[in-house]
Chain A
Amino acid sequence: MTHSVLLVALAVLVVIAFWVGKSRALSLAGGSSRNLHSLPGYYGLLTALWCAIPALIVMSVWSLGQDAILTHLVTTSMPTTLQLAQGSSHDLLLNEIRNVVAGNVPAELARPEVVTAAREYSRLRGIADLSLAALVLVVALFGLFVVRARLAPTLRARNAVERIVELLLLACSTIAVFVTLGIVLSVVYESLRFFHAVPVHEFLFGLDWSPQTAIRADQVGSSGAFGAVPLFLGTLMISGIAMLVAVPVGLFSAIYLAEYADRRLRSVIKPVLEVLAGIPTVVYGFFAALTVGPLLRGIGESVGLDVSSESALSAGLVMGIMIIPFISSLADDMISAVPQSLRDGAYALGATRSETIRQVVLLAALPGIVGGVLLAISRAIGETMIVVMAAGLSAKMTANPLEAVTTVTVQIVTLLTGDQEFDSPKTLAAFALGLVLFVVTLVLNVIALKVVRKYREQYE
């Protein structure tokens, strides 16, 4: 709340800075902008930018660090009996304090030490908020006055402003790199902690997955097993089924639309198929769980097969439907990119249309299509909602697509939703799975993009 007030105050100050800079420059130039190096607005902008940017930087750095520092201060000020609490109970205690501060828990119900700590926390936060506000406003005013003092008709204000703008553009473009870095760091860091508890080879090659670690050490299955092979197999099976649906349907519809269909049909069918690509995956999940699953089960019953209601088949089938437009539009691009001269050559030799397509066009487009299929596989592996809703949780090693299997993404979701402590191997395992997922999809994508690009160059 205080932050938004502060931001509004800063915005007002920035507007004032713009106006101050502009009028100051004009008055220095004797009221005529002809004596200025740049248009008066640029002097205003320069002042406003120097007023806003340092203040915003101070504010964001402060806000990021504030909570950690306050927590530390509160912890050290607490009685030593409470300080002894380590690890998860420490987190619990902090949570308790936060709840009292936020008013979620009435102060009368909480323990007296917690209430004292909460008061301390509120007091410190009040001080911190006030000093932040003061600091930000001082920095903003400082920027304003420094620039104002340096304004002169000969100051190259436009060039200075443009330099700042260019630097801002550069800063924005580096965000993509930081996002990648953030993903890699967070996933790798948590995975390393996981691999302290569970050896890498056991995770990658173990055949038993039951992450339910018991609360007491003497319970049955207290250790939990983190062999991820059943998950990998489940993922492969579902992606495989999806590809069996999507590749033939997608490829043949692309061929038909690109080579046979007339313009009118094409202009109707293509958007209809592309609608499939725009549907949220949670809708597919619902469709798989409530329509396709029971349907397959019914069909299975009528022919005497035992189909579980959450089967790999229904999840894979629906995922295949989702991927059809992806494959068909990529294949369509690739087929259209094959030069007409190749087709004409084949026709001249007396080949029929289908022979031309099979033996010339498809062959020429093959690398691109393979690249597209690789991209589609990486899509299928990373797909989450369909499998969460329709594939089930049982980590079985089975080759029967009619049974329920589980996948990497399903396990990540089940391990991380719900409330559990953050440091247990159970939650860390999700990050290790995420790391595997990230690496596999990354490798697939890099290969696919290389293949596609190489192929494109060939005909351009």
Chain B
Amino acid sequence: MSKTVAQTRALVEKSLRRRRLAELRFQAYGIAAVSIGVLFVILLFGSIIAKGAPAFRQAYVTLDVFIDPEVLYPDGTVDTELLATADYVALVRGSLKQRFMDVEGRAATRQLVELVSGSAVQDLQALVQADPKRVGTHQMLTFLADDKVDQYLKGNITRSTPEVDRSLSDQQLDWVDALKASKALELRFNKVFFTHGDSREPEQAGVWGAVVGSLYTLGVTLLLSFPVAVATAIYLEEFARRNRWTDLIEVNINNLAAVPSIVYGLLGLAMFLNFFGMPRSAPLVGGLVLALLTLPTIIIASRAALKGVPPSIREAAIGMGASPIQTVLHHVLPLAMPGMLTGTIIGMARALGETAPLLMIGMVAFIVDVPGSLSSPATVLPVQVFLWADSPERAFVERTSGAILVLLAFLVLMNATAVILRNRFERRW
């Protein structure tokens, strides 16, 4: 029993409609997936930039400070030794009370002084000690404002929240508004953020210590991993005969590339710290661990670069009487170098963002000082992000995002260099 032509056609047309719909649906899934991916990128960057951009501005308060000799030299004898231990808080307090004459009582005065960061006292001391002739003069000085004042100016603390729920009282907000109205209090470029180390006080905390720590650590990583990786790649690609030993090395490299980074941290802890007794929290050990971590990445990239050099180059060199080593060092290596450098920069970028293994070797300590040597305690940018992300103060949220932006800026810079290197110098044969 066969169907008529018309029946078959109707069947086919019905199925065609279904199949076209299926086609459209399938495409829609694809578009949806791509859009979700792009949406995530936008959401991620949007939220971090929105949170982090305010961190680059900070509230500064400018005060007319009378450097009162009666406070600095209480017994009337002029002795510069006394300047080291003098009561500089009293100077700041006096200046603020000068500004707000009507403030009475200890509690109110304390609230008033709270508006200025604790670093004002140190700044003032440094200023006076640098030039004791300033005693007895009036100075217009600019200090960091407290982080709460900073947050109020940025709109993160508002008057509409009930007084008990916010960290600034109504009275303090009035003072802040008065200072702001007279232009004594304003948001400026946040220099402290780029020049200081970590601090418990958000307004005094900066990323410079972490940046220097990262530079030291990456320096060690680069010095160790680049030569070793290039040498390994050259050996495996140009000299090694295929045997069990080279197979073992290759399998090892491929597997090391996929070992979770935290396991390298365990290695660092057990080997470098406990067995060899190296210092905790030091960029030296951090760099060592990261060097091991990036080694496989750079080796794989370098081998690909060496593979990309055509055999004719080697044959020509050998034909001119060059030894195998001369062939490689004088002819193959220079041609493969751009590819190797690209791979190295990408490996370094990965090392720069790596956090987990550094937690294991103690680079999570709270460190105020900017590290001065390879073995002094240090932290690195991503660990600084991790540490600040744990801090409860509102002002640290924006600083965390700010530190992330600094980190991302470094990464963009490195990746852009890699791309430029690749486009500029890589030859196609």
Contact = CB atoms under 8 A, between A and B. Distances in A.
Nearest to A325: B37
Given A280-B382, A358-B26, A249 B33 contact: yes
B364 interface: yes
User: Considering residues A175, A256, A412, A446, which has the most beta carbons from chain B within 10 angstroms of its beta carbon?
Assistant: A175
A154 B135 CA distance: 81
Interface string B31-43: 1111011101101
A272 B37 CA distance: 9
B30 A172 contact: no
A78 B41 CA distance: 62
Interface in B240-279: 240, 246, 248-249, 252-256, 258-267, 269-271, 274-277
A388 to B, nearest CB: 8
Query: Which of A174, A253, A255, A381 counts the most B-chain CB atoms under 10 A from its CB?
Result: A253
Interface string B353-368: 1111001101010000
A364 B259 CA distance: 29
Contacts of A354: 22-23, 25-27
A442 B251 CA distance: 11
Interface in A14-52: none
B258 A441 contact: yes
Nearest to A273: B37
Interface in B385-415: 385-386, 389, 397, 400-401, 404, 407-408, 411, 415
A168 interface: yes
A187 B382 CA distance: 25
B47 A291 contact: yes
B192 interface: no
Interface stretch (B163-171, B292-300, B336-344): B292-300
B38 A437 contact: no
A360 interface: no
- B contacts with A: majority SS: helix
Interface in B2-42: 19-20, 22-23, 25-27, 29-34, 36-38, 40-41
B256 A437 contact: no
A358 B253 CA distance: 35
Given A260-B27, A282-B385, A287-B48, A180 B252 contact: yes
Contact of A282 (B26, B47, B355): B355
A173 B249 contact: yes
Given A283-B404, A413-B262, A385 B249 contact: no
A375 B258 contact: yes
B91 interface: no
Contact of A279 (B47, B236, B292, B408): B408
A316 B417 CA distance: 33
Contact of A187 (B256, B267, B353): B267
A431 interface: yes
A31 B255 CA distance: 54
Interface in B106-147: none
A409 B356 CA distance: 9
Contacts of A170: 235, 239
A70 B249 CA distance: 36
A277 B389 CA distance: 21
Contact of B33 (A248, A375, A434): A248
A142 interface: no
7 contacts: A168-B231, A173-B246, A176-B296, A179-B256, A252-B30, A355-B19, A441-B260
Contacts of A64: 276
A290 B394 CA distance: 12
A286 B40 contact: no
A252 B349 contact: no
B323 interface: yes
B40 A324 contact: yes
Interface in B317-354: 323-325, 349, 352-354
B271 A182 contact: yes
Interface stretch (A120-128, A133-141, A158-166): A158-166
Given A269-B38, A413-B262, A281 B355 contact: yes
B232 A176 contact: yes
B228 interface: yes
Q: Is the interface of A mostly helix, strand, loop or mixed?
A: helix
Contacts of A174: 249
B181 interface: no
A280 B411 contact: yes
Contacts of A441: 258-260
Contacts of B25: 354
Interface of B: 19-20, 22-23, 25-27, 29-34, 36-38, 40-41, 43-44, 47-48, 51, 227-228, 231-232, 234-236, 239-240, 246, 248-249, 252-256, 258-267, 269-271, 274-277, 292, 295-296, 299, 323-325, 349, 352-356, 359-360, 362, 364, 382-383, 385-386, 389, 397, 400-401, 404, 407-408, 411, 415
Interface in A376-431: 378, 381-385, 388-389, 409, 412-413, 416-417, 422, 430-431
Interface in A279-298: 279-287, 289-291
A190 interface: yes
A424 to B, nearest CB: 14
B277 A187 contact: no
A276 to B, nearest CB: 6
Which of A287, A358, A378 has the most chain B CB atoms inside 10 A of its CB? A287
B224 to A, nearest CB: 10
A176 B23 contact: no
Nearest to B346: A278
Contacts, number: 255
A306 interface: no
A252 B389 CA distance: 34
Contacts of B255: 180, 442, 445-446
A183 B385 contact: no
Nearest to B385: A282
Contacts of A283: 44, 48, 353, 385, 404, 407-408
Contact of A177 (B41, B227, B249, B408): B249
A182 B267 contact: yes
A417 B364 CA distance: 8
Interface string A50-72: 00000000000000100110000
A227 B25 CA distance: 47
A246 to B, nearest CB: 10
A204 interface: no
Given A179-B256, A412-B266, A382 B261 contact: yes
Nearest to B225: A175
Given A180-B255, A354-B27, A441-B259, A165 B325 contact: yes
A286 B389 contact: yes
A169 B231 contact: yes
A275 interface: yes
Contacts of B20: 352
Shortest Cβ-Cβ A-B pairs, 6 listed: A382-B260, A280-B353, A256-B30, A252-B33, A186-B270, A172-B231
B427 to A, nearest CB: 22
A145 interface: no
Contacts of B271: 182, 186
Given A162-B323, A173-B236, A413 B37 contact: no
Given A416-B360, A434-B266, A449-B254, A183 B415 contact: no
Contacts of A280: 352-355, 382, 385, 407, 411
B38 A353 contact: no
A314 interface: no
A253 B37 contact: yes
Given A183-B264, A252-B32, A280-B382, A413 B356 contact: yes
B235 A173 contact: yes
Nearest to A175: B228
Given A354-B27, A412-B266, A173 B240 contact: yes
